[in-house]
Amino acid sequence: MSLPSVLSRLRLPVVSAPMFIASGPELVVAQCLSGVVGSFPALNARPQAELDRWLTAIDAQLAAHRQTHPDAVIGPVAVNQIVHASNTRLEADLDVCIAHRVPIIISSLRAPESSWISRVHAYGGIVLHDVINVRHAQKALEAGVDGLIAVAAGAGGHAGTLSPFALLGEIRAFFDGPLVLSGAIASGNAILAAQAAGADLAYVGTRWLATPEARISDDHRQALVDARAADVVYSDFFTGVSGNYLRASIVAAGLDPDHLPKADKSKLNTLTKTADADPASGAKAWRDIWGAGQGVGQIDAVIPAAQVADRLEREYLAARARLLGGAA
Ligand SMILES: Cc1cc2nc3c(=O)[nH]c(=O)nc-3n(C[C@H](O)[C@H](O)[C@H](O)COP(=O)(O)O)c2cc1C
């Protein structure tokens, strides 16, 4: 099946992953101007009225660039919607995205309602849903999503446990539509590997965090430079859903990363807001406990997002030349 044009007219086959707190208009504009899909979670725009302002500002900056650089490849914007009972903004946020004709909606956690997928289709938008297993993939396809994001082991934030080869292989057995691979993709080599393994595009999150555009503290940026894959801890303690976090932030919160208690299911509301502080440590999930994927070990400096894209492209083209010679 051929890719929708919104996913095929890119400089690199990359969808930037939405990141709670960290992804704001500065990062999204830099990603889109770098020719890849730029994204942010709707919930990052707070209060809710900010969402309209963010999308207006992003659209204006992209349009201004298009006017002065008519030949530039500018990536489309994607907005992430957390589909969960605790997300009381979902309908209002969706209305704003529809009014702005946001080209790509990324749904997370629960499969979206068919009725709202139809509203996105009505203006020509597409819906990509992220899944960590085959059962969720099938449910989302039944609901009518256009494509899937397979979140494999090693991804930053909420992540799966399956090998990317296993997950892509099983999904490809019944789905030939748009498929994006997520999990520790932090180099151009890994982007090409995602395509070789059966994905159309790579979903890149953590790699964009060590940039001036990400809305995180300088301590957080430095921790990303310092960390290696082995410094990433997988736990459901912080939000009730299993995810990957930086060991250093857990230690700084006064917790023992090697002996974290099992999840308190009452914390599930922390999927849509920064957590109530942990009574023992005072730490808040996402604000103080930093999500990061295993690709963090390939980050060696804080550089602007445009340079991240340049580097990914250089590596991708070199890997393609090395493996395929002049072909492809
Ligand atoms: C700090 C952080 C915050 C995240 N927040 C969200 C979020 O709000 N919504 C979502 O769908 N995924 C979220 N993710 C997951 C990413 O969208 C994506 O699956 C992941 O970053 C890809 O793996 P990588 O970080 O190894 O590249 C987050 C990831 C990180 C690292």
Does the Cβ of 153 fall within 6 Å of ligand 1? no
Q: CB under 8 Å to 178, separation ≥6 — which residues?
A: 1, 3, 4, 7, 126, 128, 146, 147, 148, 200, 201
Q: CB under 8 Å to 85, separation ≥6 — which residues?
A: none
Residue ranges covered by each domain of the chain: 10-214
| pLDDT band, very low/low/confident/very high, at 240 (cuts 50, 70, 90) | confident
Structure tokens, 4: 């929708």
**More confident call, 269 vs 36:** 36
The half-sphere exposure of 163 on its side-chain side, counting CA atoms within 13 A, is 5
Strand order in the sheet with 201-204: 14-16, 201-204, 179-182, 147-151, 126-131, 104-109, 77-83, 38-41
Cα 18 to averaged position of ligand 1 atoms, centre (Å): 6
Does the Cβ of 151 fall within 6 Å of ligand 1? yes
Q: Residue 319: which of 206, 202, 226, 205 has the closest Cα? A: 202
**Residue 239: φ, ψ to 5°:** -130, -5
Does the Cβ of 297 fall within 6 Å of ligand 1? no
177, pLDDT greater than 80: yes
Alpha-carbon distance 229 to 309, whole Å? 21
Cα 40 to averaged position of ligand 1 atoms, centre (Å): 10
Cα 286 to averaged position of ligand 1 atoms, centre (Å): 11
Q: Hey, which residues does 109 pair with through a beta bridge?
A: 83
Fold of 10-214: TIM Barrel (3.20.20)
The number of beta carbons lying within 10 Å of the beta carbon of residue 198 is 19
285, pLDDT greater than 90: no
Does the Cβ of 80 fall within 6 Å of ligand 1? yes
**Mean pLDDT over each residue of the chain, to the nearest integer:** 93
Check if the beta carbon of residue 133 is closer than 8 Å to that of residue 162. Answer: yes
Cα 44 to averaged position of ligand 1 atoms, centre (Å): 13
Alpha-carbon distance 323 to 219, whole Å? 38
Cα 22 to averaged position of ligand 1 atoms, centre (Å): 10
- Express as a percent the part of the chain with pLDDT over 90: 87
Check if the beta carbon of residue 228 is closer than 8 Å to that of residue 47. Answer: no
Cα 279 to averaged position of ligand 1 atoms, centre (Å): 25
Does the Cβ of 17 fall within 6 Å of ligand 1? yes
| pLDDT band, very low/low/confident/very high, at 282 (cuts 50, 70, 90) | low
Does the Cβ of 19 fall within 6 Å of ligand 1? yes
| pLDDT band, very low/low/confident/very high, at 325 (cuts 50, 70, 90) | confident
Check if the beta carbon of residue 43 is closer than 8 Å to that of residue 272. Answer: yes
304, pLDDT greater than 80: yes
**Residue 167: φ, ψ to 5°:** -65, -50
75, pLDDT greater than 70: yes
* Nearest atom, ligand 1, residue 185 CA: 27
Amino acid at residue number 323? L
The model's pLDDT over 88-133, given as tens digits with 9 standing for 90+, comes to: 999 999 999 999 999 999 999 999 999 999 999 999 999 999 999 9
* Nearest atom, ligand 1, residue 216 CA: 1
Q: Provide the pLDDT for residue 326.
A: 60
Residue 175 DSSP label: -
Mutate to test the pocket of ligand 1, among 44, 80, 158, 312 (most ligand atoms within 8 A of CB): 158
The model's pLDDT over 143-168, given as tens digits with 9 standing for 90+, comes to: 999 999 999 999 999 999 999 999 99
Q: Provide the pLDDT for residue 121.
A: 98
Does the Cβ of 156 fall within 6 Å of ligand 1? yes
Cα 324 to averaged position of ligand 1 atoms, centre (Å): 31
Query: What b/e string do you get for 45-68 counting C-beta neighbours within 10 Å, with b at 16 or more?
Result: beeeebbbebbeebeebbeeeeee
Q: Residue 186: which of 36, 315, 18, 322 has the closest Cα? A: 315
Q: Provide the pLDDT for residue 279.
A: 56
**More confident call, 1 vs 188:** 188
Instruction: Give, for 182, the enclosing helix (H) or strand (E).
Output: strand 179-182
Does the Cβ of 22 fall within 6 Å of ligand 1? yes
Query: What b/e string do you get for 142-161 counting C-beta neighbours within 10 Å, with b at 16 or more?
Result: ebbbbbbbbbbbbbbbbbbe
Q: Residue 72: which of 15, 20, 126, 32 has the closest Cα? A: 32
Q: Please give the average per-residue pLDDT across 282-294, as a whole number.
A: 86
Cα 158 to averaged position of ligand 1 atoms, centre (Å): 7
Alpha-carbon distance 284 to 222, whole Å? 19
Evaluate the CA torsion angle 37, 160, 229, 261 in order and state its sign.
positive
Q: How far apart are the first and last CA of the chain?
A: 18
Question: Taking the model in full, what pTM does it have?
Answer: 0.95
Does the Cβ of 296 fall within 6 Å of ligand 1? no
Cα 245 to averaged position of ligand 1 atoms, centre (Å): 11
Does the Cβ of 96 fall within 6 Å of ligand 1? no
Cα 17 to averaged position of ligand 1 atoms, centre (Å): 6
